[in-house]
Amino acid sequence: MSWISSSVMGRKGVAHGKPGKTHQLTEEAQGQYYYVYGPYEKPVLRIEPGDIVAAETRDAFGGAIKTTADLPSKVLNFPYVNPQNGPIYVEGAEKGDVLAVHIHSVLPRGPQPAGTTALIPEFGGLVGTAQTAMLNKPLPELVKKMNVTTEGVVFSDRITLPYEPFIGTLGVSPEIEAVLSLQPDYWGGNMDLPDVAPGAVVYFPVQTKGAYLFLGDCHGRQGDGELCGVAVEIPAVATVQVDLIKQWSIPGVRLETESMIMSVGSARPMEDAARMAYRDLIRWMEADYNFTESEAYFLATQAGRLRVGNMVDPKYTVGASMLKTYIA
Amino acid sequence: MSWISSSVMGRKGVAHGKPGKTHQLTEEAQGQYYYVYGPYEKPVLRIEPGDIVAAETRDAFGGAIKTTADLPSKVLNFPYVNPQNGPIYVEGAEKGDVLAVHIHSVLPRGPQPAGTTALIPEFGGLVGTAQTAMLNKPLPELVKKMNVTTEGVVFSDRITLPYEPFIGTLGVSPEIEAVLSLQPDYWGGNMDLPDVAPGAVVYFPVQTKGAYLFLGDCHGRQGDGELCGVAVEIPAVATVQVDLIKQWSIPGVRLETESMIMSVGSARPMEDAARMAYRDLIRWMEADYNFTESEAYFLATQAGRLRVGNMVDPKYTVGASMLKTYIA
Amino acid sequence: MSWISSSVMGRKGVAHGKPGKTHQLTEEAQGQYYYVYGPYEKPVLRIEPGDIVAAETRDAFGGAIKTTADLPSKVLNFPYVNPQNGPIYVEGAEKGDVLAVHIHSVLPRGPQPAGTTALIPEFGGLVGTAQTAMLNKPLPELVKKMNVTTEGVVFSDRITLPYEPFIGTLGVSPEIEAVLSLQPDYWGGNMDLPDVAPGAVVYFPVQTKGAYLFLGDCHGRQGDGELCGVAVEIPAVATVQVDLIKQWSIPGVRLETESMIMSVGSARPMEDAARMAYRDLIRWMEADYNFTESEAYFLATQAGRLRVGNMVDPKYTVGASMLKTYIA
Amino acid sequence: MSWISSSVMGRKGVAHGKPGKTHQLTEEAQGQYYYVYGPYEKPVLRIEPGDIVAAETRDAFGGAIKTTADLPSKVLNFPYVNPQNGPIYVEGAEKGDVLAVHIHSVLPRGPQPAGTTALIPEFGGLVGTAQTAMLNKPLPELVKKMNVTTEGVVFSDRITLPYEPFIGTLGVSPEIEAVLSLQPDYWGGNMDLPDVAPGAVVYFPVQTKGAYLFLGDCHGRQGDGELCGVAVEIPAVATVQVDLIKQWSIPGVRLETESMIMSVGSARPMEDAARMAYRDLIRWMEADYNFTESEAYFLATQAGRLRVGNMVDPKYTVGASMLKTYIA
């Protein structure tokens, strides 16, 4: 039997973590893609807790970078980047609930080379940006295309990297804000966190009636921090199972796999993202795993793990995790 | 003759900095106040460049803190705080233009004690917050009320501070986002910058047709950084003259008084806000004051001034300024 | 009568703020200059509380940049930069005391052009550095020389700036550390804070027997933040009067003028420097000016002022101040 | 044959990575322990490249916390904490060389419970500190003692954690500074990085003749970030083999295991530490692994890993690594 039955989704979900109906959210069904996480658009789909959605996501550039000659500064039209599928209305979801998203699979689609990365002027972790404003000249703009299959990411003639896909941008709508899909925050969004991968269950605090689930920006793989700002961006079919948890209040994104629990923080500077993540992990351990605050603080000190999702987006994202074997 | 004629607004404005018709934006005329800066609401008023708007602003708490017994955690309903007048549609404004806002006056209104400050749990510059997440217990919640007239702010029996009012939150709408009025950004918003005061002209990069001007959150006065997170919050009548500048591209908020020019940056950590402000000041000096980049960099080093607006909001705001006597 | 009699130095100093004997610390008397603040060197001078020292300081480059052709990367030998006069042993000073340094004057000396500023590769507030590590190419190296007299700083043909000198690097020795004179910290050092100017009294927490006072790095003037990293560097005669305060415990540098009190913080990121400064200002107001913590916090919020000294050194320096008229 | 022969130490070391004579640096042989990394003390030992040192290290508290009743604020005497073995003079080492330290083993010693962790007032990642200055009250002081053997760390009745020891503080002397052993920097020091573990080779840029190797502060294990500021602190026998590499210039600490290479950065804010680490990793890949800068930047983006060593010390430490299988 799957570990899902013992997950928070399995134990507390309206659908008890059991899969329901499957919806195909093709490019055609989606129609217009969206560039903000907000409550102001009409849902493209309405689902019940337990339902599965197979979404045809576009890459973060909306497919505009077809060859290495398609320089981002020429083919992109900011802020119309990072197109999202959704919003998906989840029946019964209300502010104060938690939306559980169990990721079944992320599969590449479209013609090869399906993967794109790039150096974009004034964007990235090792260059001056609009915020970390510098007088230095930008690096030359550059595009790299890669063949991406479930067999691997062909980085170069000599290097093929494992295909370790995840969903870069995933979350629910804020209550009254509509925020660029480029930004991560407590409702999810552009976390670019490699743990948001097939097998995981991700939990989001619902802010508005129907939750308004968005997703997009799949990555064939990514290192910690998404250093140059652009992972192995791919168009994909992302299949997720959605459940709804009533009466569970969480301040931000949480995540669970068979082996660990993780709390996620998004903020600048990076230490604040780490603080948010670790504080929430401690509070989770207090609430659900029978720890006092100081014992949880001590255990996080001796056995906690940090994952830097991104160090390039409007807020940096860090996940703090604990192995279930230490706390169960 | 006023210095305004030599300001950017005076020289380049569609109305040449000349005042036009006056509009009364009373509480009644405003009707519903708004909590986000965005393009999704119907304008409450349409004006021509040169027109003057006298807006009855509410205090940041929407007037909910009437006595020291009205604790913020009891009477506020997040995110419905920091109510804004607007949006005001400016005829002819388009993305790529600049909106000039010349502040004529900010006058307190309403019954005394008109001024409110407070210690709000997990908010402020010297306490743990949702982002700078700490395990320490919050400080006790506390409200302080102050009589505020144009004669002064009665801080206590022994201390009366000068009335030095300004508009805490002022700006235009983002293009497709709707962002909490609590946040400052390149379009303005909750900068909490004391230089946004009567006499100044503030310039905003227009992002959307009609500009959608918002304003609110007037302060009877404030120190640098708005340390505890809450200035001398007052309901007020803020009177501003609006002009429109075509063909002037600016990356963020700029400001001008008779004696100086200032560029504004909003970001975290604070050094990034300072970098944004200083880089834009240098570029302004290059473009309009006949400096090379290196000479502007050198002069900013020897004669630039920094003002920390806020060190408490979702982004910190810093202004970098240069005296006109050094560059004219 | 001077305000000094009412200063902390005047009221609590061993010498009651009264000037004693004057010592000439010429280049010759100094002999070897030093590059660290530490207790490991033999004092060059021993003085009594109240004594005055007139020190011939070298500029931050030890005079190595004589013309615009003397590029820093060629003529400087890191870490042998920012040479300091001292250490000066103050009789009676012990760990836990406070050293008061009243700055009488800072006068330029040496042949003209006496002032130097420069763009140094990978150093400065708007470029990638060893810490804010970037892949962007450095800006071209550049030296600028300026005539500097008490009449003014001749920045260019069209711009003469006021001569507003101060001591860039001033402080006492740590207890067991020896730290580069490039770094500011709780014991003083390279704060590059324009308030450390003639007229001010600066207070340092003594860490070691004899205090070991160091000084150097005089500036003809400087803007907030010392943006490019190099102020108007001058060789100077800095004249300071030293007093000793027993039984006054302070956690870092404090400063007093006729009109205000200031606490200084040095840290990264910049908000931490501001937090350190403001927290100590609040504690000072509690201890010596009859405020409760919350009233001091509120008053700092409404009337505090922040000065960014440097945003380029190993730690950024920020001063938080309060006018004496508000608290006396 | 060991991978060591293909390591930088094995290929370029004066001793070719071959072990030489073993030196016992017992508590008695060490005599006085030291609290700064600096060149001002007489070496306790002189060794040749290749030599092995088995050092009896004290725990970070110098053994002063014997029971849970020994509260840090009572038994510690700042800055006399984190005692170090050394300095060890390495024959032939000069500024510009690299010292290679191959860690053979870290074994616990002393009576049980040998492990100590603690909540220390105003210290730790989730509390206000001297730098992240807050007005909140500190958490209660607390000591936890743990049995530590090579079989495991007995965290509590229900939790035994793996024994995964490393050396918390390890490095060489700065050139003219003497810096607290509490601080990490480009010469090493208190990095608190779990990768500095048995099996690894750590590389330090030599700053002074003889290198002056220091070590101490062994940990029975630690989570990422050393969250509360105190790992599983143990007295230990740390056995290291030292080699010397001429003609290899590195800007900071590097590290190598059989499977990966890592560059280390120490700075605040945390993103600067990550930037330092990643930039040096890229430059290492360019210099030694046949990558262009942009290809190295891309590969780090898709396959780099970040480890947060500490988020509590005067500088935060982050390691950026790359699997050898991707680059060999």
- The whole-number pLDDT of residue D328 equals 87
pLDDT confidence band for A269 (50 / 70 / 90): very high
Helix residue ranges, H only, chain B: 8-12, 27-30, 72-75, 270-288, 293-303, 324-327
Instruction: Classify residue D32 as exposed, middle or buried by CB count within 10 Å of its CB (0-12, 13-18, 19+).
Output: exposed
pLDDT digits (tens, 9 = 90+) for D49-67: 999 999 999 999 999 999 9
SS3 at position D75: helix
- The whole-number pLDDT of residue B328 equals 87
- Scanning C238-297 for CB atoms below 8 A from A yields 269
pLDDT digits (tens, 9 = 90+) for B53-81: 999 999 999 999 999 999 999 999 999 99
Distance CA B196, CA B222 (A): 12
- Assigned token pair, B303: 């004669």
Distance CA B310, CA B318 (A): 7
The β-bridge partners of D233 are D116, D219
Q: Does C148 touch chain B (CB under 8 A)?
A: no
The answer to whether C38 and C208 are in contact (CB under 8 A) is no
- Assigned token pair, C235: 């060789």
By C-alpha distance, the chain A residue nearest C269 is A269
Among the partner-chain residues C159, C269, C304, the one whose CB lies closest to the CB of B223 is C304
**Among candidates A228, A71, A194, which has minimal Cα distance to D295?**
A228
Chains with at least 3 CB pairs less than 8 angstroms from chain C: A, B, D
- Give the helix/strand (H/E) hosting A282: helix A270-288
pLDDT confidence band for A328 (50 / 70 / 90): confident
- Give the helix/strand (H/E) hosting D47: strand D45-47
- The whole-number pLDDT of residue B216 equals 98
The β-bridge partners of B317 are B266, B310
Q: Does C175 touch chain B (CB under 8 A)?
A: no
User: In this model, does residue B322 exceed pLDDT 80?
Assistant: yes
CB contact under 8 A, B276 and A131: yes
User: In this model, does residue D76 exceed pLDDT 80?
Assistant: yes
For the domain C3-248, what is the CATH superfamily, name and number?
Acetamidase/Formamidase-like domains (2.60.120.580)
CB contact under 8 A, B139 and D138: no
The answer to whether D56 and D25 are in contact (CB under 8 A) is yes
Instruction: Classify residue A41 as exposed, middle or buried by CB count within 10 Å of its CB (0-12, 13-18, 19+).
Output: middle
- Substitution target in C136, C275, C316 with the highest count of D β-carbons within 10 Å is C275
- Substitution target in C298, C310, C315, C324 with the highest count of B β-carbons within 10 Å is C298
User: In this model, does residue D1 exceed pLDDT 80?
Assistant: no
In the predicted model, what is the mean pLDDT of residues B143-167? 98
- Give the helix/strand (H/E) hosting A324: helix A324-327
Q: Does B142 touch chain D (CB under 8 A)?
A: no
Opening angle at CA B44, ends B38 and B47, nearest 5 = 100
Distance CA C85, CA C105 (A): 16
By C-alpha distance, the chain C residue nearest D294 is C135
User: Domain residues of chain D, as ranges?
Assistant: 3-248
In the predicted model, what is the mean pLDDT of residues B317-323? 98
The answer to whether C305 and B224 are in contact (CB under 8 A) is yes
Percent of chain A with pLDDT strictly greater than 70: 100
Q: Which residues on chain A are in Cβ contact (under 8 Å) with D224? A: 304-306
Q: Does B141 touch chain A (CB under 8 A)?
A: no
Instruction: Name residue, tokens 């640098």.
Output: B224
- Substitution target in A155, A302, A306 with the highest count of D β-carbons within 10 Å is A302
pLDDT digits (tens, 9 = 90+) for C100-142: 999 999 999 999 999 999 999 999 999 999 999 999 999 999 9
Query: Which regions of chain C are under pLDDT 70?
Result: 1
Q: Does B193 touch chain C (CB under 8 A)?
A: no
> Residue D95 CA to chain centroid, in angstroms?
21
**Among candidates C57, C30, C59, which has minimal Cα distance to C43?**
C30
Opening angle at CA A239, ends A238 and A240, nearest 5 = 120
CB contact under 8 A, D135 and C175: no
**Among candidates A110, A146, A163, A166, which has minimal Cα distance to D298?**
A146
User: In this model, does residue B1 exceed pLDDT 70?
Assistant: no
B57, B59, B61, B65 alpha-carbon torsion, rounded to 10°: -130
Q: Judge if the upstream peptide bond of residue C269 is cis by omega within 30 degrees of 0.
A: yes
- The whole-number pLDDT of residue B246 equals 97
**Among candidates C115, C53, C66, C43, which has minimal Cα distance to C239?**
C53
- The whole-number pLDDT of residue D104 equals 98
Other CB atoms within a 10 A radius of the CB of residue B164 amount to: 18
Helix axes B270-288, B293-303, angle to 10 degrees: 130
- The whole-number pLDDT of residue A247 equals 87
CA dihedral over B169, B175, B178, B184, signed as positive or negative: negative
CB contact under 8 A, D176 and C177: no
By C-alpha distance, the chain B residue nearest C267 is B271
In angstroms, the separation between the Cα of residue A140 and the nearest Cα of chain C is 10
**Among candidates D150, D72, D129, D38, which has minimal Cα distance to D311?**
D129
pLDDT digits (tens, 9 = 90+) for A44-86: 999 999 999 999 999 999 999 999 999 999 999 999 999 999 9
Distance CA C313, CA C131 (A): 11
pLDDT digits (tens, 9 = 90+) for B211-249: 999 999 999 999 999 999 999 999 999 999 999 999 899
pLDDT digits (tens, 9 = 90+) for D148-189: 999 999 999 999 999 999 999 999 999 999 999 999 999 999
Half-sphere exposure of C16 (CA within 13 A, CB side): 2
Distance CA D134, CA D125 (A): 13
Q: What is the DSSP string of B33-102?
A: -BSEESSSS--SEEE-TT-EEEEEEPPTTTT---STT--HHHH--TTS-S-BEEEEEETT--TT-EEEEE
Entry pTM = 0.98
- Give the helix/strand (H/E) hosting A52: strand A52-57
CB contact under 8 A, B251 and A275: no
CB contact under 8 A, D274 and A221: no
ipTM of the prediction greater than 0.90, yes or no: yes
Distance CA D4, CA C319 (A): 52
Chains with at least 3 CB pairs less than 8 angstroms from chain A: B, C, D
Give Dmax over CA atoms of chain A in angstroms. Answer: 58
The answer to whether B251 and B281 are in contact (CB under 8 A) is no
> Mean pLDDT score of chain A, rounded to an integer?
98
